C-alpha cells in the first residue's frame, strides 16, 4: 500500500471503520463475507491523524462527525475494499438514503512503534505531529444532522467505540420497523 493514496495498488478503496463494522461488533459479518469473497482485506489498526468527534446516536449507533479539530483522535480498523465490496458497504451505511456520507480522512497506523516528531516541536500532541499518514475514506454522519448530534452528546466525543459503548445497542432487525433510520435520528435529537 502506498501512504498518501485512498486506493491501494490493486485499485481497492481504503475504508476506515470505527464502529459496528470492526472485528467483534455486530456488523462485522459483512466485512467477514467481503474478506471471504476477496472483496476486502484488513490492512491494520489505525487512528485518525486529527481530532474528530465520535458519538453515539439512537440505539447506541456510532457516528463519526465531519467536524475536524473537535473531539479526539479516533481508533479503528482500515480495510482495502473492492468496488463491489464498497457498494455493499454503501448500502449498509445508507449513503443513498442520507444516513452517512463517505468522505476522505487522514489516518496513522496504531500502535506507534516509532514516534517521529515531524514538525520539530518536541511532540507536543498537536494535530500536526503525524507519523506515516495514509489517506482513506470513512463513513461520517450525514451533514444534515451531524452538528445536532454533536450538541446532543454535550460536545464530547469518544476515542473508540468499545464494548462499553455498545451496551444498549439495538440491531436493525430489533428496531421499530415502521420508522426510517432518519426518523429514529430525528426522534433521538428531539428528546
- In degrees rounded to 5, what are phi and psi of residue 67? -130, 70
Dist. CA 105–CA 79, nearest whole Å: 13
- Out of 7, 91, 93, 108, the active site residue is 93
Residue 121: name the closest of 132, 131, 129 by CA: 129
Residue 8: name the closest of 34, 35, 37, 42 by CA: 42
CB 118 within 8 A of CB 129: yes
101 is catalytic: no
Dist. CA 65–CA 118, nearest whole Å: 27
CB 16 within 8 A of CB 140: no
Dist. CA 69–CA 75, nearest whole Å: 15
CB 72 within 8 A of CB 55: no
CB 44 within 8 A of CB 1: no
- Catalytic residue ranges: 93
Amino acid at each position: 500500500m502506498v501512504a498518501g493514496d485512498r486506493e491501494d495498488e490493486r485499485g481497492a478503496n481504503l475504508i476506515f471503520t470505527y464502529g459496528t463494522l470492526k472485528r467483534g461488533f455486530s456488523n462485522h459479518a459483512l466485512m467477514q463475507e467481503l474478506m471471504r469473497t476477496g472483496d476486502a482485506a484488513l490492512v491494520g489498526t489505525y487512528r485518525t491523524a486529527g481530532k474528530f468527534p465520535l458519538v453515539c446516536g439512537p440505539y447506541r449507533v456510532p457516528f463519526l462527525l465531519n467536524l475536524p479539530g473537535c473531539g479526539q483522535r479516533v481508533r479503528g480498523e482500515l480495510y482495502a475494499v473492492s468496488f463491489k465490496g464498497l457498494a455493499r458497504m454503501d448500502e449498509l451505511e445508507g449513503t443513498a438514503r442520507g444516513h452517512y456520507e463517505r468522505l476522505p480522512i487522514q489516518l496513522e497506523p496504531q500502535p506507534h512503534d516509532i514516534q517521529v516528531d515531524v514538525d520539530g516541536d518536541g511532540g507536543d500532541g498537536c494535530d500536526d505531529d503525524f507519523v506515516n499518514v495514509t489517506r482513506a475514506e470513512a463513513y461520517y454522519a450525514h451533514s444534515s444532522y451531524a452538528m445536532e448530534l454533536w450538541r446532543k452528546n454535550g460536545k464530547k466525543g469518544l476515542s473508540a467505540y468499545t464494548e462499553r459503548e455498545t451496551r444498549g445497542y439495538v440491531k436493525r432487525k430489533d428496531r421499530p420497523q415502521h420508522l426510517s433510520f432518519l426518523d429514529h435520528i430525528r426522534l433521538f435529537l428531539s428528546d
